[in-house]
Amino acid sequence: MLSLKFRRALTALNVRIRTCLREVEILASQREDPESVANDVKPHCRSRLISLLCRWIADESAAGSPTSRGQVLRIIWVKIMRLLNFRKSLTALCLAPLVLFSGCSKKTEPISLFDGETLEGWHAIPRIYVPQNEEFNQIPSAQLRDATVRFHEESSDAGLREKVGNSGVWEVVDGAIVGSQVPGTVLGGYLMSDKKYGDFELTVEAWPDFPIDTGIMIRAHEVGTVGFQILLDYRPNGGMGGVYGNGLYNFRAFPFVINGDELPGFEAANLRKGKLDRPQFKPDFAAPIEDFLKAWKPNDWNTIRIRSEGELPVIKTWINGVHIATFDTATLGEHVENFDAEAVVERLGRKGHIAFEVHDSHSGRERWAPGAVCRWRNVRITEL
């Protein structure tokens, strides 16, 4: 029998192949003569897909017996044949490297998502959580937001009912988006893009007060609290530049956590390594905290860059040009029990919203100090 880790790795590979072939099918359908494309692909380029599979087999089965390796080969072959369920399978295999290796793809220019004067293209929404139970797990993605709003509105808990009407405070000040809690409350919200995005590279400048818990949602569902979050938890024991699964098993792929001392005016000093206060794991690439501390500019603007590619995306983050984290979300099965890749894809779709967060602070001021804000400017995206 193959080990659990082995089967999870195989599942991740199957997801990647399926994503590739779906995109290839779309690409082939847009060509006037799809079969002719095969003649334009150089032999060494076609061989890279085969090399990818061979390298994976070698890496994953090096410690296994010949029988185990034979099982893997048969499984991969059967899966590929099942995935190649459209007519031009040879064309798909020839085009696959063009999707897997983006060097052949047409580049697009970055566009601005914020005009520096208004919130046009954005809308504010409340932070309402999707109940974690089987009933809500079965609700189709298109109906999830309305069902979640209705759950809060009909709740006997006044705190849940209050959330529905509170989206935080979002305004433009001195050419920057400024997000904060409604004065007198501990409730936050999201500022969400009107448009959805699939594969992209996003850059944004951020200036968070200390202490606050904020971040950038990507591939976000319209309900807000479901998607992948790039963390800017600028607070004691907060994650910076890691990936959090909002409503997606609540996984924490953090390279490190920070600590710091609060000064008057919500400024920070003496940034240093923090303490792990909740379960988490290291992403595929995790920068040492020393790299972050050298790059980060306290009490100033910092540039965040995020790259997200794939149906279950590979997410990469940089802060002021320093690579902080890389995480392949298709490998979540190695870290999360009962991970269901198909369910995640169904829930999020191939595209999702981008959103900035103002967190609630029921647990105390370290989550969001009263009167503190986060600022965002120069928001630019390049669709890949």
How far is it, in rounded angstroms, from Cα 187 to Cα 167?
Answer: 8
Mean pLDDT along residues 99-127: 82
Q: Greater confidence, 23 or 159?
A: 159
Residue 77 or 251, more confident: 251
Q: What is the pLDDT of residue 90?
A: 47
User: Under a CB-based contact definition with an 8 Å cutoff, are residues 376 and 209 in contact?
Assistant: no
> Is 374's pLDDT higher than 50?
yes
Domains of the chain plus CATH, in order, are 4-103 (no CATH), 111-383 (2.60.120.560)
Decide which of 40 and 231 is more confident.
231
Mean pLDDT of 298-325: 97
Instruction: Tell me what the mean pLDDT of segment 55-67 comes to.
Output: 47
Measured over the CA atoms of residue 374, residue 378, residue 383 and residue 384, the dihedral's sign is negative
Run of H or E including 244: strand 238-246
Per-residue confidence (pLDDT) for residue 18, from 0 to 100:
59
Are the beta carbons of 95 and 37 closer than 8 angstroms? Answer: yes
Mean pLDDT value of segment 363-372: 92
pLDDT at 80: 52
pLDDT above 90 (res 345): yes
Sign of CA dihedral 32, 36, 40, 41: positive
Average pLDDT, the chain: 83
Which secondary structure element, helix H or strand E, spans residue 302, and what is its range?
strand 302-309
Q: Which is it for the CA torsion 111, 117, 120, 121, positive or negative?
A: positive
Is residue 153 pLDDT above 90, yes or no?
Answer: yes
Angle, helices 66-83 vs 4-29, to 10°: value is 30
**pLDDT at residue 159 tops 50:** yes
Token pair 């040009």 is at which residue?
Answer: 321
Q: How many Å apart are CA 46 and CA 104, to the nearest integer?
A: 13
302 has pLDDT over 80: yes
Q: Give tens-digit pLDDT for 168-187.
A: 999 999 999 999 999 999 99
- Which residue type sits at 312? L
Q: Is the pLDDT of residue 68 over 60?
A: no
Residue 341: CB atoms within 10 A of its CB come to 20
What is the Cα gyration radius of the chain? 22
pLDDT recorded at residue 276: 85
DSSP label of 321:
T
pLDDT value at 291 more than 80:
yes
Record the tokens describing residue 132, joined without a space. Answer: 């974690």
Q: What are the backbone dihedrals phi and psi of residue 366, each rounded to the nearest 5 degrees, phi first?
A: -65, -20
Dihedral sign (CA 113, 118, 119, 120)? negative
pLDDT higher than threshold 60 for residue 115: yes
Evaluate if residue 309 carries a pLDDT over 50. yes
d(CA 176, CA 178): 6
The residue behind tokens 């099918």 is 25
DSSP 144-197: HHHHHHHHHHT-S-HHHHHHHT---EEEEETTEEEEEPPTT----EEEEESS-B
Please tell me the pTM assigned to this model.
0.76
For 20-56, how does the pLDDT look when each residue is reduced to its tens digit (9 = 90+)?
Answer: 555 555 555 555 554 444 444 433 344 445 444 545 5
Residue 256, class by beta-carbon neighbours within 10 Å (0-12 exposed, 13-18 middle, 19+ buried)?
Answer: buried
